[in-house]
Amino acid sequence: MSYMGHRKFLPTGHVFRTWKKAFDGKQELEMPPSPLQGEELLEKLNKVQFHLGKRKLTSKKRKGQREKSDVASSEHQGPWKKKSIFFELEYWKHLALRHNLDVMHIEKNVSDSLLNTLFNIPGRSKDGIKSRLDLKELGIRANLHPQVVGGRTFLPPACHALTKVEKQSLCSSISNVKVPEGYSSNVSDWVDMSKLILSGLKSHDHHILIQHILPVSIRSVLPKKVRYAITRLCLFFKSLCCKVIDVTKLENLGLEIVEVLCYLEQFFPPSFFDIMVHLTVHLVREVKLCGPVYMRWMYPFERYMKILKGYVRNRSRPEGCIVESYIVEETIEFCSDYLSEVTTIGACPTRVNSEISKGSRGVSVCGVSRADREEAHRLVLQNIDEVQPYIEEHFNWIKSNNPTKARNQKWVQDEHYRNFSTWLKKKVYAENCESPSNVSNTLLCISRGPSCDVLKYQSYYINSTKFCTKDRDKSRKTQNSGVMIVARAFQISSSKDKNPIECNMSFYGVIQEIWELDYSSFQIPVFLCDWVRSDNGVKDDELGFKLVDLNRIGHKSDRFVMASQATQVFYMSDPLDARWSVVMTTQAKDYANQEHNGDDLMISEQIHQITPPPIDVTVGDDVVSSRDDGEGLWVNETIKP
């Protein structure tokens, strides 16, 4: 079964409706079908007959015995059989009235079909000799029709098929990906470099692959139009699964997926468009009716089913095992609430108690230079609430003592950075001598500055996130050293600009060292990072990707960042240019908040803005569906006349 003809879901004046050769050889004049109401869907299902169980008959004798036993069981259990059918009809009625599509399985099956077709895996690819014969029967894409040469059949290379070099590039790009700890399974285990295929992916692996890794890994393979269509399909799923949904942008998102499917119809064979690919058209409508995806997909249910399956020890009595183990666990958890120093079942004590606060791996006491310590201390002063009134007072003090330079904002800012810590120490000391009750212990410790020695960590847990230094990441298969921060910064047009503009800017960097400053009564963690230059080290891709050059280091006088304010990111090497890296955002796991049990997938909270390239109307209706640099496929089957 093939579900083609997605042009009918486009607006009436869309240019794709008039194209013929690029699709099925006809213009599209039909309108999209109206969605069925619950009662209409139930009416269609009223005549459906249900056959419970599976039958495997090996002989006529066994078949006769089965028929006699079925008759006997139906006579003996007639009312129960009618009751089971009644429950099934009620289930279908409930399903018809609710009508909720599972995005997890749709995403998984679309990703699996896409990978099998791109790698052209025999027996699993949607492109084969039967698909090419379908093209011949439909009278479209004559350059892809099978060609008989001798006793063999040659299938010309399609534009969506990867060459051997492109397979090596794609597999190498995926195998070299390092993700943060807990982000997904080991990505390198998906890749088989000897066979040049991806295998062994679970449902969540497909989720991570299609939404995050695949759009970056295919940047250097496939023709441009095919690559853009696949990338837009991946970004559609990423936008659909965001936690924050902008209702005003759902209409554009619905039009986006229809355009993407129309592009895919130009390049992929009709057999590619099975029911799972087609159901993506209806996912935006599901969001309008049912709300965000992450609150209703199958991940938490599938994971809990795994827990229940683990309770089964006697396979002949699975229900009894599950009930017995569940009752025992509930009893122990209830009793543990009344015992001191006992952790409840299901919560990992190391993560709940350690990761939210801090870790102590690779800790050492080190002495640092005074300049570095003052730079870190200056950062702390700028981010303490009790110090904020003194910052404004210090700015006014600088302007009043230097009236001739007060208009030069850059000079005032630099003067504030140089002298604020010394000025604050004297100011707080004077206030403490006059009225000690008005000066808090926190403010007094902050004004005195940190200890000369600092604690240095190789890894640190804060805000439910694990951060590591760059040196620690080199010997591991995970990447926890990437950070990003959005901060207020001054933008200047040149070195002579005396009136910079203050605005929010995003800064990207890599953690080099993790410090813990000791202020006698409390400690404050900070990260020493190498920050990418904001002028020529960061750029935006035409599809919305953020690219950084990690070798272009800037902001050398402002290297520190508060550990509590840092956001973890990771970097993927750009296959187009190894000098650049693509920034991939993550989301911390909230182990402390027990209300979000099913919300533990690494999904970016930011809505990914899809910026599709304009439709190339100069190409017109004649879209090339094959490639000259591709590799065809020889099959031993002969075409029957």
Q: How far is the C-alpha of 640 from the C-alpha of 637, rounded, in Å? A: 9
Alpha helix (H) residue ranges in 121-201:
129-138, 164-175
Residue-wise pLDDT for 236-295, tens only, equals 999 898 888 888 889 999 999 999 999 999 999 999 999 999 999 999 999 998 888 988
Nearest Cα to Cα of residue 408 among 489, 531, 498: 498
What is the predicted pLDDT for the residue at 630? 79
pLDDT at 638 over 80: no
The mean per-residue pLDDT over the stretch 199-224 comes to 92
Phi, psi of 528 (to 5 degrees): -95, 115
Tell me the mean pLDDT in the region 341-353: 54
Residue 239 gets which letter from DSSP? H
Q: What is the pTM of this model?
A: 0.81
What band does 520 get if pLDDT is binned at 50, 70 and 90?
confident
Least confident of 78-82, 345-349, 520-524, 534-538: 78-82
User: Considering just the CA atoms, what is the radius of gyration of the chain in Å?
Assistant: 31
Give the number of other Cβ atoms within 10 Å of residue 472's Cβ: 19
Angstrom distances, CA of residue 413 to CA of 209, 370, 395, 419: 46, 21, 8, 10
Give residue 594's pLDDT: 40
- Dist. CA 403–CA 499, nearest whole Å: 16
Task: Summarize the confidence of residues 189-205 as an average pLDDT.
Answer: 91
**Per-residue model confidence (pLDDT) at position 361:** 57
The CA distance from 467 to 529, in Å, is 12
Report the pLDDT averaged over residues 142-160: 87
pLDDT of residue 621: 58
Higher pLDDT among residues 498 and 481, named by residue:
481
Report the alpha-carbon angle 34-40-42, nearest 5: 135
pLDDT, residue 98, reads: 53
| Mean pLDDT, range 475-481, rounded to an integer | 91
Residue 219 pLDDT greater than 50, yes or no: yes
Between 118 and 43, the more confident residue is 118
Q: For the residues 346-369, what does the mean pLDDT come to?
A: 58
Phi, psi of 147 (to 5 degrees): -120, 130
Beta-bridge partners for 147: 154
**Contact in structure between 242 and 608 (CB atoms under 8 Å):** yes
pLDDT tens-digit map of 112-139: 999 999 998 888 899 888 899 998 888 8
Model pLDDT, residue 54: 56
- What's residue 84's pLDDT? 46
pLDDT at 68 over 60: no
Q: What confidence score (pLDDT) does residue 604 get?
A: 37
Which own/partner contact pairs does 31-37 have at CB distance under 8 Å and 24+ positions apart? 32/8, 33/8, 35/282, 35/285
* Cα–Cα distance, 59 to 61 (Å, whole number): 5
What pLDDT was estimated at residue 483?
A: 94
CB 328: neighbour CB atoms within 10 A?
Answer: 11
Across 482-500, average pLDDT: 69
| pLDDT score of 355 more than 80 | no
pLDDT tens per residue across span 166-180: 999 999 999 999 999
Q: Which two tokens stand for residue 210?
A: 């299609």
The one-letter amino acid at 127: D
- Rounded percentage of the chain residues whose pLDDT exceeds 90: 33
Q: What is the mean pLDDT of residues 72-87?
A: 41
Q: Which residue has the higher pLDDT, 85 or 444?
A: 444
Q: What is the pLDDT of residue 640?
A: 62
pLDDT of residue 563: 92
Q: What is the mean pLDDT of the chain?
A: 81
Helix (H, G, I), strand (E, B) or coil at 595: coil
Total residue count of the chain as it appears in this document: 641
CB contact set of 524 (below 8 Å; sequence gap of 6+): 380, 450, 516, 517, 562
